[in-house]
Amino acid sequence: MATLTLRDIKKSFAQTAVLHGVDLDVRHGEMIVIVGASGCGKSTLLRIVAGLEAATSGDVIIDGQNVTPLEPADRDVAMVFQNYALYPHMSVFQNMAYGLKIRGMPREEIIKRVDEAATLLGIQPLLERKPRQLSGGQRQRVAMGRAIVRNPKLFLFDEPLSNLDAKLRVQMRAEIRHLQKRLRVTSLFVTHDQVEAMTLGDRLVVMHAGHAAQIATPMEIWERPADTYVAGFIGSPSMNLLPATLLEGGGAARLDGSGLVLPFADGARGGAAGRKLTIGIRPEHLRIGQGGLDVMVELVEPLGGESVLHGKLADGTALTARLPGATYQDGAMGVILPLEFLHVFDGDSGKRIEAGR
Amino acid sequence: MGTSLDVNALADRTRRRQRREAFVTHACLALGVLIFAFPIYLTIIGSTHDVNTIGRGDVPLLPGGEAAANYAQAWGVGGGRFMGVPAGVMLFNSVIMAMCVAVGKIAISLTSAYAVVFFRFPFRMMFFWLIFITLMLPVEVRIIPTIQVMVDLNMTNSYQGLIIPLIASATATLLFRQFFLTIPDEYVEAAKIDGAGPIRFFIDVILPLSRTNVAALFVILFIYGWNQYLWPLLIVNDRSMETVVVGLTKMIGSGDSQNEWNVIMATAVLALLPPVAVVVLMQRWFVKGLTETEK
Amino acid sequence: MKKVYFKGIALPYFLLLPQIIITGLFFFWPAAQAVRQSFLREDAFGLSSQFVGFENFTDVLSDPTWLDAAFRTLLFSSSVAILALGAALFLAVQADKHIRGADTYKTLLIWPYAVAPAIAAVLWLFMFHPNIGIFGRMLNALGVPWDYKLNGDQAMLLIIFAAAWKQVSYNFIFFLAGLQSIPKAVLEAAAIDGAGPMRRFWTVVFPLLSPTAFFLMVVNLVYAFFDTFGIIHSLTQGGPGKATETLIYRVYTDGVMNLNFGSSAAQSVILMILVIVLTMVQFRYVERKVHY
């Protein structure tokens, strides 16, 4: 149990800047998921917290102590690696006992702790085996066991589920969440999978090109994404983003291309007429009907209970819809955009514009 | 953790320790480099002085002025107490031997490995094990009977005698076999569908894929051929056929102080240039090849 | 084995032919000859030979000078192996760290591979010759009576160092590759678990390096047994006295200088058996111990 504070973490490799100043405050027992596409800097951030990389500037503060200059061994953190990084020449028991042995714990205490963790994870029968004799899921559990026995201040997870098959991934996801809640250890979990992010995190940090684009709870990120990147990243299929222009008075926007006028249901936005906007609407919020946009549907993907329709607007802009049922055909279709589900972003910066701004 | 004071002290110790460790690492590596460079350096310096300076025992640490004269003599005339052989001649012999051994071994091993991997025929595995066993028979162990065979075949004192027996050993064949086994079956199937026969396949697919291995092996085998000692020593009596490695030691004789050390050192430097050049220029392939062969 | 192959048997035989012929002529035939000769003894004039069973072998194995040479070879080989392996491992560990110029250091430590054993010997001779060598003279000036032409122990010391010096590069390359094949994440996990650099080395790196180390040990021993012939021949010719005469050098002196073919052949066969045993042990052990 510990708090974690990141203060203006910057990192550059040679001339390339990878992190541009990340701030984060993590509470006791919180599970923070750091999510983003490859190359956004999320793993680097995690490794800086672990001490495996040194930040170019900025501070890492664990439980009020500035640990920035300290080696990983002195930070009292535990990490689960993407490839598990188990010691190949040691048995499962020895893998889990290693960190405790180093800290000079008495043998009986070590056995007790390892047993407890092994029971928790269901791996007692594997204690004498070597890593190469284990399946992927088993190795993952051992890696977690190794972290659990240490009773550290922080758990750090570096994309631990990426190497598992889909079914196992879902199962382990639930187990990890369950475990973390039970042990109440402050955790950082890095992933590129937005489903993992949404289901695991108390709060999410959406990383984009070295910046934290948004730090909020999953639902907040889904309902009010801070910019077009976050809007497009969370939610599948991605939110539709349509270029538009602000109308005189700020109470509505006209879509470029189709000319459709969309009044804002929650209030006017600031700015002169002609201000460039991007209007967002999620595929699952579109409805069939006349009076909205004319879409030429080119591909229907039936998923069973619903279908995903891929089409194009008159001016060539792509549009995706997720609609219930399975009775859709290619061809022309009319969709309406329910006004209460619109998202308004600045056309140049991509930042979200709330009513009254 | 302790108080903020403890953390600061720990941080300081860590920083100091990291700096100290980097320094120690550099020092150790620099020392290592020195230990390997120093003998060469000394020899190069020695080759630029006149015979009396060295013979007297005034070991020079800085270059002298006799470089041109020494190297000219070494190259063209030879040195040492006993009627020396010009280094030019010896280097030529060494180059021929090393090149032919390297190229010959590569060629033979490519075809043998190809036969063993891509075909099925009676006694296939027996032939493979026969070749494999030769790994365990370094030339020194069967030296005298092999000389006898050479004498019987009238191959002493000749390039063929120097080269051919060294061509057949197993390392290269094993390397290529291992590599060929990793080539996916689909390549052969695609070739068959395209109508390519085994020879076409070998030329158009296998050879290009083997490029890195061939480069690595070339370095290893060139060095192997160049550095041969016992074999050229015994197979060659005619001094004009001497290789430079053997010739160098003959120049020294029993290590008398009265030797023409300056010329000998110049010859040593000349003897080192080609193999070192090959290793340094092709270092990347070479290291890759070495560490993949033996594993 | 590959599942897909080309039809036909004429071509493969043809492709194999060069290697088989040369292997047969220059490997198996002489090896068989060596074995055959080891059971024969020639008369004083070299005119006829007589089958003597295992007599050559028993003579060799009970010859005190041969046993001396065997013991000496053991001493020489283990010293060379330990020295060359220890130095190479140490340098490889240092070179594996992420410091500036690591690649330059590596290049500078790899090139000595190109130096022939015989030339290494010559270089060391230049340094340690009692009259013209910088260290030779230095030792004498400091009061140490250094002359390896007269002092057997000094001669042994010299060839050990020359032989080890030459072999470090080869070991260095393999140790470096071995170190780089250890997944970085495993070492990071150890660091996070609280292990400092020394502990990480002994509890994680060294055990994972053991297949490489074992393989190299066998290679180094074989090198010390056979390839060092050039060093001994250039520097000491087995002398002074028999102080640096190793088993392989004896094969040479008995066979080529003294023309005692029977004994030399028997010695060759004994060495052959030794190499075969070493190589087989190496293959068995390395196959079993590779972890991933």
Helix or strand (DSSP H, E) at A155:
strand A154-158
| A23 and A82 share one domain | yes
Q: How far is CA A337 from CA A289, A343, A354, in A?
A: 9, 11, 18
In a domain, B76, yes or no: no
Beta bridge partners of A324: A306
Cross-chain residue pair A72–C192, CB shorter than 8 Å: yes
Any idea what the CATH number is for the domain that residue B286 is in?
A: 1.10.3720.10
Of the residues B24, B45, B70, the one at which a domain ends: B70
Beta bridge partners of A6: A24, A60
pLDDT of residue C1: 59
| B12 and B116 share one domain | no
Chain mean position to CA B137 = 19
Cross-chain residue pair A83–C195, CB shorter than 8 Å: no
| A226 and A255 share one domain | no
Looking at the 3D structure of chain C, how many domains does it have? 1
Residues C113 and C173: beta-carbon distance below 8 Å: yes
| A322 and A260 share one domain | yes
Neighbours of C281 (CB within 10 A): 12
How far apart are the C-alpha atoms of A22 and A206, rounded to whole Å? 11
Q: What is the secondary structure of A44-107 as a DSSP string?
A: HHHHHHHTSS--SEEEEEETTEE-TTS-GGGTTEEEE-TT----TTS-HHHHHHHHHHHTT--H
In a domain, B132, yes or no: yes
Of the residues A179, A214, A232, the one at which a domain ends: A232
| B205 and B286 share one domain | yes
Residue B193 — very low, low, confident or very high, per pLDDT cuts 50/70/90?
confident
In a domain, C100, yes or no: yes
Name the closest residue on chain C to residue B161, using Cα atoms: C26
Cross-chain residue pair A66–B1, CB shorter than 8 Å: no
Residues A149 and A117: beta-carbon distance below 8 Å: yes
The domain of A330 spans: 237-346
pLDDT of residue C292: 37
Of residues B65 and A241, the one with the higher pLDDT is: A241
pLDDT of residue B1: 45
Indicate left, alpha or beta for A269 from its phi (over 0: left) and psi (-120 to 50: alpha).
beta
How far apart are the C-alpha atoms of C22 and B109, rounded to whole Å? 12
In a domain, A356, yes or no: no
Residues B260 and B80: beta-carbon distance below 8 Å: yes
In a domain, C248, yes or no: yes
Residues C248-264 have a mean pLDDT of: 82
Task: Looking at the complex, report in whole angstroms how far the Cα of residue C106 sits from the nearest Cα belonging to chain A.
Answer: 22
| B94 and B64 share one domain | no
Any idea what the CATH number is for the domain that residue A334 is in?
A: 2.40.50.140
In a domain, A157, yes or no: yes
Neighbours of B12 (CB within 10 A): 11
Residues C9 and B124: beta-carbon distance below 8 Å: no
So what's the ipTM on this one?
0.82
Any idea what the CATH number is for the domain that residue A93 is in?
A: 3.40.50.300
| A98 and A19 share one domain | yes
What are B253-288's pLDDT values in tens digits? 766 666 778 888 888 888 999 999 998 888 888 787
Assess whether pLDDT exceeds 70 at residue A13.
Answer: yes
The domain of C199 spans: 59-289
In a domain, C96, yes or no: yes
Of the residues A201, A232, A263, the one at which a domain ends: A232
Task: Looking at the complex, report in whole angstroms how far the Cα of residue C285 sits from the nearest Cα belonging to chain B.
Answer: 12
- Reported residue count of chain A is 357
Q: What is the mean pLDDT of chain A?
A: 91
| B122 and B27 share one domain | no
| B138 and B163 share one domain | yes
pLDDT of residue C291: 45
| A66 and A129 share one domain | yes
Residues C257-266 have a mean pLDDT of: 81
| A206 and A149 share one domain | yes
How far apart are the C-alpha atoms of B99 and A334, rounded to whole Å? 77
Cross-chain residue pair C16–B116, CB shorter than 8 Å: yes
Name the closest residue on chain A to residue B2, using Cα atoms: A65
| A228 and A241 share one domain | no
What are B216-256's pLDDT values in tens digits? 889 889 998 999 888 888 888 888 888 888 888 888 876 66
The domain of B39 spans: 4-70
In a domain, A353, yes or no: no
| B65 and B104 share one domain | no
| A120 and A196 share one domain | yes
Helix or strand (DSSP H, E) at A311:
strand A306-313
Q: What is the CA radius of gyration of chain C?
A: 24
| A110 and A94 share one domain | yes
Looking at the 3D structure of chain A, how many domains does it have? 2
* Highest-scoring range by mean pLDDT, A219-233, C23-37, C59-73: A219-233
| B48 and B109 share one domain | no
Residues B66 and B177: beta-carbon distance below 8 Å: no
Q: What whole-number percentage of chain A has pLDDT above 90?
A: 69
Name the closest residue on chain C to residue A104, using Cα atoms: C194
| A50 and A182 share one domain | yes
Assess whether pLDDT exceeds 60 at residue B80.
Answer: no
| A269 and A217 share one domain | no
In a domain, B82, yes or no: no
* Highest-scoring range by mean pLDDT, A32-46, B114-128, B179-193, C139-153: A32-46
Name the closest residue on chain A to residue C197, using Cα atoms: A73
How far apart are the C-alpha atoms of A326 and A200, rounded to whole Å? 31
Q: Count the helices and strands in chain A (H runs, E runs).
A: 8, 19
* Token code pair at residue C24: 């047969």
Helix or strand (DSSP H, E) at A26:
strand A16-26
Q: What is the CA radius of gyration of chain A?
A: 24
What are C118-159's pLDDT values in tens digits? 889 888 888 888 887 888 888 888 888 888 888 888 889 999
In a domain, B79, yes or no: no
Residue B136 — very low, low, confident or very high, per pLDDT cuts 50/70/90?
confident
How far apart are the C-alpha atoms of A99 and C191, rounded to whole Å? 9
In a domain, C33, yes or no: no
Residue A237 burial by Cβ neighbours in a 10 Å radius (0-12, 13-18, 19+): middle
Chain mean position to CA C20 = 27
Could you say which of B1, B4, B15 has the minimum Cβ distance to residue A69? B15
Assess whether pLDDT exceeds 90 at residue A310.
Answer: yes
Cross-chain residue pair C18–B112, CB shorter than 8 Å: yes
| A89 and A218 share one domain | yes
In a domain, C126, yes or no: yes
How far apart are the C-alpha atoms of B157 and A231, rounded to whole Å? 82
DSSP C112: G
Assess whether pLDDT exceeds 80 at residue B292.
Answer: no
C203 at A interface, C-beta within 8 A: yes
Q: How far is CA C236 from CA B257, C113, C144, in A?
A: 15, 23, 20
**Share of chain C residues as helix, strand and coil, in percent rounded to the nearest 5:** 75, 0, 20
In a domain, B80, yes or no: no
Report helix, strand or coil for B81. Answer: coil
Q: What is the mean pLDDT of chain B?
A: 82
C229 at B interface, C-beta within 8 A: yes
Looking at the 3D structure of chain B, how many domains does it have? 2
Any idea what the CATH number is for the domain that residue C102 is in?
A: 1.10.3720.10
Contacts of C109 in chain B (CB under 8 A): 29, 32-33, 36
